[in-house]
Homo-oligomer: A and B are copies of this chain.
Amino acid sequence: MTDMQTSSTPPAVHPLDEALVLESGAPGHYTGQTTQAYWNMVGPYGGLTAATALAAVLRHPDVLGEPVALTVNFAAAVIEGPFTVVATPARTNRSTQHWTVSVLQSPAEGGDPQVTTTATVLMAERRETWSGADTPMPQVPPPAECALAPAIFPVQWLQRYEMRPVRGMLPGEWDGSERDSLTQLWMRDAPARALDFPALAALADVFFPRIWRRRALRVPAGTVSMTVYFHAGSELLARTGSGHLLGQARAQEFRNGFFDQTAQLWNEAGALLATTHQIVYYKE
């Protein structure tokens, strides 16, 4: 947009929606384009790749119901440029549907497209049933009382999220002193955006590597596989709107090059929207 913008100008497209633009090709084939807005150190933010895999399923004409589970495997770095998403309904039942998804990209040096990402998605037509929460939101100060954190690194994707730490952020000094791996923070898209399933999937990957906190050492680390279970349906997402989510993440085990992370995302009203897990490579 230019300085000529007036109040009648339609609102700019949100960077997340811009990043999730997929052009339809052959059935189940979509072409996307990496965007600088979510760039991480050597590729797009992993949460965006997760959102992209899910978005391809959601835009497929044969899709049934709403997302219940998403597993994304980050098989190789995505490089700058176009990529293809292939979404295939592997099995459709009466009220559930199982999808397999691949992201493919031609290597920088040219040649046949190779798989950079694999994913599976479970969709379901959900019905209202007895429901119960077994993981109450921790008692924390509201977002307005938690100061905005500056981005911890000069990478683009960190500008796409408003983060208001509650506890357990990065250690003040990289001195190798061990501590717990628990982080809690309020977070939402920046600029604010009404929550939908791809945005929620992307938010599930917001936490910095647990090992950085646990060891107070910035060792190389990267998520290799990530699973999101969606407890929220679209109605609860609509009620959540563009409000803040409380994210809580901790590791369970660090061993020989891989650690796991288990995390929860509640809305401000205390409803658990998603639980998520990942396994993360680390060095040293």
Identify the closest chain B residue to A66 (Cβ): B256
Chain A 263-283 per-residue mask, 1 if CB under 8 angstroms from chain B, else 0: 010000000100101010111
> Of the candidates B115, B132, B227, B260, which one forms a contact with A90 in the assembled complex, judged by CB atoms under 8 Å apart?
B115
Tell me if A158 counts as interface (CB < 8 A to partner B). no
Count of A interface residues, CB-CB < 8 Å: 63
Of residues 156 through 193 on chain A, the ones whose CB sits less than 8 Å from some CB of chain B are 178, 180-181
A126 touches B258 (CB 8 A): yes
Tell me if A35 counts as interface (CB < 8 A to partner B). no
A229 touches B277 (CB 8 A): yes
Identify the closest chain B residue to A93 (Cβ): B76
Q: Which residues of B contact A252 (CB under 8 A)?
A: 134-135, 264, 272, 275
B127 touches A98 (CB 8 A): no
Q: Which residues of B contact A76 (CB under 8 A)?
A: 91, 93
Most interface-central of A71, A180, A231, A260 (chain B CB within 10 A):
A260
**A interface list, Cβ under 8 A from B:** 68-69, 71, 73, 75-76, 90-91, 93, 96, 98, 100, 102, 114-116, 118-120, 122, 124, 126-135, 178, 180-181, 214-215, 224-225, 227, 229, 231-233, 250-258, 260, 262, 264, 272, 275, 277, 279, 281-284
